[in-house]
Amino acid sequence: MGKDYYKILGVDRSCTEAELKKAYRKLALKYHPDKNQDDGASEKFKEIGEAYEILKDPDKRKIYDQYGEEGLKGGMGGRGADFSGYGGFNFSSFDPHETFKQFFGDNDPFREFESFGGFGGPGRSGFSNFMGGANNFSNMGGHHSGFGGSPKKDPSVEHFLNVTLEEILQGTTKKMKITREVLVPGTNSTRTEPKVLEITVKKGWKEGTKITFPNEGNQTTGNTPADIVFIIKDKEHAIFTRDRDNNLLYRHKLTLKQALLGCTISVPSLEGPHYDIELKQASPSSKRLLKGYGLPKPKKPRERADLIVEFDIEFPKNLSDDTKQQLQHILPE
């Protein structure tokens, strides 16, 4: 029989036109060569388009169901039954990109996977770290109509993804477990399905970076599922904070004596080692810079921003009258 087009699209042999479109949309977005650089993705994208072109056409689907892939080739002058009036399928000149273009029309089906912006309004649907508890989505589904060029879809479901500064320094992979409703093939009913979404957090990603998983929300008949969006959010760090330029900020406490007379201080780093800095004097507004000891730069992850040391000067709480009198003579007006 050759290729199993139903298996390629992951649909039942009795699937409806709507189910075909839903399956094609999901797989075409997943394996489009512009978004998927894996080996074999391009060939998979072509197979998906070929399967959809055959099965969406009632005449070609009828031939395929009776005689398989070879029957379609026979319809072009090959062996087998008389397919006059049905038409075969030109395998040699088939262009999967043309199928993709015709399906989505002028709409851009892709969402930006990495953008730097505000937090918007994260939804309340539940996520959890894969190794932790498993909460469920809520209110993700919706009923929409329309397919092809201008499909309607549910609003994106957003959730914060908490990361440590150490994870931003090194990069990491997060696994988030979700629970959603999926359609049972060949029916209008749904079943609950757990799924693990894997997120590669790259070095230097800023707070507010968005990672989008297209169409991973609840499935209902006639609608396009919502996108699931994770938004990077920094966990509070015991020592450091970071600014908008990925500099690490560290505040060091000095006594008034140290600030006036100078001292040597030990400054921690995110990797662990401490570095000694000699101070001649310090004021509340003064800063010291350790170049290249901050977080990786988002657009140039091999380069690093700086570590900025700021100072909190502690003033004596109680001064004796004798000490005050001495300071009046010592300190300038």
State residue 328 phi and psi, 5-degree precision. -65, -35
231-243 tens-digit pLDDT:
999 999 999 999 9
- 113 found inside a domain: no
Q: Which pTM does this prediction carry?
A: 0.52
Helix (H) or strand (E) holding 68: helix 58-74
Confidence at residue 236, expressed as pLDDT on a 0 to 100 scale: 95
100-104, 214-218, 298-302: segment of lowest average pLDDT: 100-104
- 257 found inside a domain: yes
**What confidence tier does 263 reach under pLDDT thresholds 50, 70, 90?**
very high
Confidence at residue 199, expressed as pLDDT on a 0 to 100 scale: 94
Residues 170 and 249 in one domain: no
Which of 177, 209, 234 is the last residue in one of the domains? Answer: 234
Domain that holds residue 307: 240-314
pLDDT of 116 > 80? The answer is: no
5-55 tens-digit pLDDT:
999 999 999 999 999 999 999 999 999 988 888 888 889 999 999 999 999
**What confidence tier does 85 reach under pLDDT thresholds 50, 70, 90?**
very low
Confidence at residue 221, expressed as pLDDT on a 0 to 100 scale: 76
Residues 31 and 101 in one domain: yes
Residue 145 burial (10 A CB sphere; 0-12, 13-18, 19+):
exposed
Which of 209, 234, 259 is the last residue in one of the domains? Answer: 234
Residues 187 and 265 in one domain: no
CA-to-CA distance for 99 and 104, rounded, in angstroms?
9
Residues 229 and 161 in one domain: yes
What's the structural domain count of the chain? Answer: 3
Residues 161 and 218 in one domain: yes
Residues 222 and 163 in one domain: yes
Residues 252 and 309 in one domain: yes
CATH number at residue 187: 2.60.260.20
Token representation of residue 101: 């273009």
Highest mean pLDDT among 114-118, 177-181, 247-251, 311-315: 247-251
Residues 259 and 206 in one domain: no
**What confidence tier does 135 reach under pLDDT thresholds 50, 70, 90?**
very low
